[in-house]
Structure 1
Amino acid sequence: MTKIEKRGGTLGVETRAEDEKRTLVGYAAVFNSDADIGGWWTERIAPGAFAETISGDVRALVDHDMGRVIGRTKSGTLRLSEDSKGLRVEIDIPNTTDGNDLWELVERGDISGMSFGFSVTKQSWDETIDPPTRTIEAVDLFEVSAVAWPAYDDTEIGKRSLQEWRDAHQPEPDTEITDPAAAPVTKAMLTRARLKMDLDLKVRSTR
Structure 2
Amino acid sequence: MTTGGDMERRSFTEIRTAGRRIEGYAATFNSEARMGGFVETIAPGAFRGALAGDVLAMLDHDPGKVLGRTRSGTLRLTEDSRGLAFSLDLPDTQAGRDVLALAERDDLGGMSFGFMVPQGGDSWNGERRTLRTVTLKEISVVSAWPAYPDTEIALRALRHSVDADRRRRALILAQVNT
Check whether TM > 0.5: yes
Unaligned ranges ≥5, structure 1: 153-207
SS of 2:95's equivalent? helix
Residue correspondences, number = 142
Pairwise CA distance, 1:151: 5.8
Which residue pairs with 2:73 in the alignment? 76
Asked if residue 135 in structure 1 is aligned to residue 133 in structure 2, the reply is no
Pairwise CA distance, 1:112: 4.0
**Superposition pairs for residues 110-129 of structure 1, below 5 Å?**
110-121=107-118, 122-127=121-126
| Structure 2 CA distance for aligned equivalents of residues 119 and 33 of structure 1 | 19
Given the alignment, which residue of 141, 149, 174 partners 2:144? 149
1:85-122, Cα deviation, whole Å (9 max, x unpaired): 10001100011111111111111111140000001120
| Structure 1 CA distance for aligned equivalents of residues 53 and 137 of structure 2 | 9
Instruction: Say which structure is richer in strand.
Output: 2
Normalising by structure 1, we get a TM-score of 0.66
- The question of whether the paired residues in 2 share the 8 Å contact of 1:6 and 1:151 is answered with no
Asked if residue 46 in structure 1 is aligned to residue 43 in structure 2, the reply is yes
With a CA cutoff of 8 Å and minimum separation of 6, indicate the structure with the bigger relative contact order: 2
1:118-138, Cα deviation, whole Å (9 max, x unpaired): 0112010002xxxx1100000
Normalising by structure 2, we get a TM-score of 0.76
SS of 1:149's equivalent? coil
1:125-160, Cα deviation, whole Å (9 max, x unpaired): 002xxxx110000001000000012465xxxxxxxx
Which residue pairs with 1:34 in the alignment? 32
Which one has the largest radius of gyration? 1
SS of 1:76's equivalent? coil
SS of 1:95's equivalent? coil
| Structure 2 CA distance for aligned equivalents of residues 24 and 141 of structure 1 | 19
